[in-house]
A and B are shown apart, each in its own frame.
Chain A
Amino acid sequence: MASRTPFYILVSLLFFAGLALTLHRHIAFDIPWFPGEQRQTWSIEAKVDFEANGEPVTASLAIPNTQPGFTQLNQQTASPGYGLSFVEGKGGTYAQWSIRQANGNQSLYYKVDMLLDPFAIPAEQEPVANVKPHVEKEPYATAAQMILDRATERSSSHYTLARELIHEFNNQEQTAELLVQVKPKTIWIAQLLQEAGVPARRIHALYLEDGRRRQSLIEYIQVFDGENYEVFNPETGEQGQAQNMLLWQYHSGPVLEVVGAINAQVTFSMISQEQPFNIALNQKFADNEWLNFSLYTLPLEEQAIFKGILLIPVGVLIVVLMRILIGIKTSGTFMPVLIAMAFIQTSLTTGLIGFLLIVGVGLMIRSYLSYLNLLLVARISAVIIMVIGMIAFFSIVAYKFGLTEGMKITFFPMIILAWTIERMSILWEEEGAKQVMIQGGGSLLVAILAYLAMNLDWIRHLTFNFMGIQLILMAITLVAGSYTGYRLLELKRFKPLTKLDKS
């Protein structure tokens, strides 16, 4: 006998590969084990107001992208009469509205949904452009240098320098006041950090709190240390980014730029929402993440098809187990799986009634066909046509009686039904009604079990989201294929032998 070791190695490889893939998807992509889990998303609306005075207007609003902690889902704008485009610029992404002529108060809306997502995959962070050193006028140059020197003395690294710089601005109040006359504190801090060779920039962040309206952006200092960065509060020197802090503009550019109008300002309102994770994931993967091999990257219609296809192995496994472990006879090996798939479309009761109706009436008509003495292919074809006729007839009857459920009968695979009728009919002629009941009942039982398994939300969720499950199913099937023990029904069949032994 050939060694079974390679077989068991293969099976365990499949099993553990499947398990690892599954765990990887759970951990790396945050896909939950159970369906119906919710994910928090934020809907943030930016409202741009300005006063136009009849000139052509161009308004550019910086908009946020996927960033650590947040994944951008979908975005919408509302701006009647305005042309709109999304512009990728050096200073990040902009929503750009334009109009030839506008008068009076104008309001433009931009809405974005951000998924609270610890596993967000942000686009590459742009390094801070090296700003040419500003030559400041006196006395500002000296004042700034004084603050920087002091901070440099008391610091040891990029981050500590940033923190000390902010502290110095707070400590040396008079110097700070002098500097702020020329430009805002945050610009000074970013500029001084740059001068000291520390990549840093001014960014605009938004605090997310449910139901807040008319919020505005808060300025922060972003300091880089190689690949990493830290965010500093320019008022307190506090380091770190709160979980509900969304970076709105972090590309050193302006937040809002309006040409051709006055009194432009932007305000924000936001609400928090709970969304089923799959809707959130669908939106997350809607943008082609080709690196990320996932069914969520497919269009919705194809996703629906795959949902069905990926369930088939579960049904097939049920058939395998029923035959190998229990020993149930079915007519047509995998016919029960196909019937179960039809049940999924029709719901169980409707499906059962429809199936019994069609097969029952089909058997009656088929018994007449057997008198006609036809060749096999022609007879099967006749049965197929007959099945189609019956389905049409029952659909119309059901519709006339107002039973819309009855229309679902069309979901049954017609060729399979025809073969089922043909097989049952031959079985009836040769072995009698009892065998028809046994095999037909066995097929239906397996079909119902397969349906119950395939219709479980949890199983649908697992097979669709975790490709690794398919490998695990494969491993189980292989193991079942080498099972040499008794089938359950054999325990009953061979019972007389044990009695004999005792007597």
Chain B
Amino acid sequence: MNAPAKKMTWFQALRERYAHPNALSKIGVLGMNRRNVSYISRYNPRHLFPLVDDKLKTKELALEAGLKVPNLIGVISEQHAVKNLSAILQRCSSGFCIKPAHGSGGKGILIITRQSEEGYRKSNGQIATIADLERHVSNILAGLFSLGGRTDVAIIEDLIHFDDCFSGFSYEGVPDTRVIVFRGFPVMAMMRLSTADSNGKANLHQGAVGVGLNIGDGRALRAVQFDKPILLHPDTGLNMMTLKVPHWEEVLNLAVSCYEMSGLGYLGTDIVLDRFKGPMLLELNARPGLTIQIANGKGLLPRLRHIESLSHKKKMSAVDRVAYTREHFTDHY
């Protein structure tokens, strides 16, 4: 008598933890396989990948297109040039950031908030010496942080002075906005906020908070950490629902112009808001992740299919496309 009951609970536990595929497809959740086969390989021509995989190239491209990007301080591309680092750093007075051109997932990004007599102050308050920085650059050059371990280039750029409206929402790191742009239409957006759990990194699987944003007005829809909904920021206790991204129209316009610039049909754009300069393009991603769906609490597929069903004939301008999505994809709550 006991056996069937036990079996039942086992089965129930399974149902508790795993979703039925039909349930997911009803919501329109985009899976990894479908993303790769039906979107990335269909809309992103392979030869355009290097443009977005190399942050230096993306930067040049963005400058050509007249988009705002963080100011480039210097580039170190050879091991013997590492000793010039301190000379390069003389050029900037305040904070800066060192990152690998081919880094993925925020790996190898070192943020120095202030440089003074005593050394370089990292975002977590520790003081680094010039030797530490040189070691980091040399690691970047050796390919420690890049895909497949190939040799890389170190980029040094101005620190972003992130907008005051985010203070309290982010712990240490710079909050950035990810907008998925599909064939030039912004389809979904989220904000990534670093926490103590994520060590100041904006990676969701490391414990950063993902906040789904209403594509219509840039307001928070819901927030998740470790794929679980939360209401308050785990470190600062601020109500996440009060978050609203300023200059939302500008953010969307910037994201959409990345489509024209890169030619990639299915694109993830990472945008930061600078206190002085407004929205700036941080980097592009040709293989944007799927967690944005969890942060938004909805699947990407209905919106992607909506865009796919639009007529190809009439070309919409960037502004029209933003207006179109704001009209059609706004969440009402």
Binding site for B on A (CB under 8 A): 1, 324, 327, 373, 375-377, 379, 426, 430-431, 482-488, 490-498, 500-501
**Distance of A492 Cα from B227 Cα, bound (Å):** 11
Select A376's contact among B142, B206, B298, beta carbons within 8 Å: B142
The answer to whether A497 and B143 have CB atoms under 8 Å apart is no
Q: Which chain B residues numbered 1 to 30 have a C-beta less than 8 Å away from chain A?
A: 17-21, 23-27, 29
> Given the complex, which residues of B lie within 8 Å of A482, measured CB to CB?
37
10 further A-B contacts with Cβ under 8 Å, apart from A485-B21, A501-B27, are A379-B142, A484-B38, A486-B21, A486-B31, A490-B31, A490-B290, A492-B19, A497-B19, A498-B23, A500-B297
**Distance of A492 Cα from B298 Cα, bound (Å):** 15
B299, CB-defined interface residue at 8 Å: yes
A contact face: mostly helix, strand, loop, or mixed: helix
Select B294's contact among A376, A379, A484, A496, beta carbons within 8 Å: A496
Q: Which chain B residues numbered 214 to 255 have a C-beta less than 8 Å away from chain A?
A: 224, 227-229
- What's the minimum C-beta distance from B99 to chain A, rounded to whole angstroms? 14
**Distance of A495 Cα from B293 Cα, bound (Å):** 11
The answer to whether B27 and A497 have CB atoms under 8 Å apart is yes
> Given the complex, which residues of B lie within 8 Å of A430, measured CB to CB?
107
The answer to whether A376 and B149 have CB atoms under 8 Å apart is yes
> Given the complex, which residues of A lie within 8 Å of B24, measured CB to CB?
486, 490-491, 494, 497-498
**Distance of A343 Cα from B155 Cα, bound (Å):** 44
- Identity of the chain A residue whose Cβ is nearest the Cβ of B16 in the assembled complex: A495
B277, CB-defined interface residue at 8 Å: no
Select B31's contact among A375, A487, A492, beta carbons within 8 Å: A487
> Given the complex, which residues of A lie within 8 Å of B83, measured CB to CB?
none
Select B33's contact among A431, A486, A496, A498, beta carbons within 8 Å: A486
- What's the minimum C-beta distance from A70 to chain B, rounded to whole angstroms? 55
**Distance of A492 Cα from B293 Cα, bound (Å):** 14
- Identity of the chain A residue whose Cβ is nearest the Cβ of B152 in the assembled complex: A376
B138, CB-defined interface residue at 8 Å: yes
> Given the complex, which residues of A lie within 8 Å of B143, measured CB to CB?
376
**Distance of A426 Cα from B139 Cα, bound (Å):** 12
> Given the complex, which residues of A lie within 8 Å of B310, measured CB to CB?
none
B135, CB-defined interface residue at 8 Å: yes
> Given the complex, which residues of A lie within 8 Å of B37, measured CB to CB?
482-484
- What's the minimum C-beta distance from B261 to chain A, rounded to whole angstroms? 25
B79, CB-defined interface residue at 8 Å: yes
Over the window 51-92 of chain B, the binary record of Cβ atoms lying under 8 Å from chain A Cβ atoms (1 yes, 0 no) is 000000000000000000000000000010000000000000
The answer to whether A484 and B34 have CB atoms under 8 Å apart is yes
> Given the complex, which residues of A lie within 8 Å of B227, measured CB to CB?
493, 496
Given A426-B144, A484-B38, CB of A492 within 8 Å of CB of B17: yes
Q: Which 7 A-B pairs have the closest CB atoms?
A: A376-B142, A484-B34, A486-B31, A491-B18, A495-B19, A498-B23, A498-B19
The answer to whether B144 and A376 have CB atoms under 8 Å apart is yes
> Given the complex, which residues of A lie within 8 Å of B142, measured CB to CB?
375-377, 379
The answer to whether B138 and A375 have CB atoms under 8 Å apart is yes
> Given the complex, which residues of A lie within 8 Å of B275, measured CB to CB?
none
Tell me which of B31, B151, B206, B227 has the highest count of chain A C-beta atoms within 10 A of its own C-beta.
B31
**Distance of A403 Cα from B32 Cα, bound (Å):** 46
- Identity of the chain A residue whose Cβ is nearest the Cβ of B17 in the assembled complex: A492
- What's the minimum C-beta distance from A446 to chain B, rounded to whole angstroms? 17
> Given the complex, which residues of B lie within 8 Å of A1, measured CB to CB?
42
Sample (24) of A-B pairs whose CB atoms are under 8 Å apart: A324-B33, A327-B32, A376-B143, A377-B142, A431-B206, A483-B33, A484-B31, A485-B34, A486-B33, A487-B32, A487-B33, A488-B18, A490-B29, A490-B290, A491-B24, A492-B17, A493-B227, A494-B24, A494-B293, A496-B227, A496-B294, A498-B27, A500-B229, A500-B297
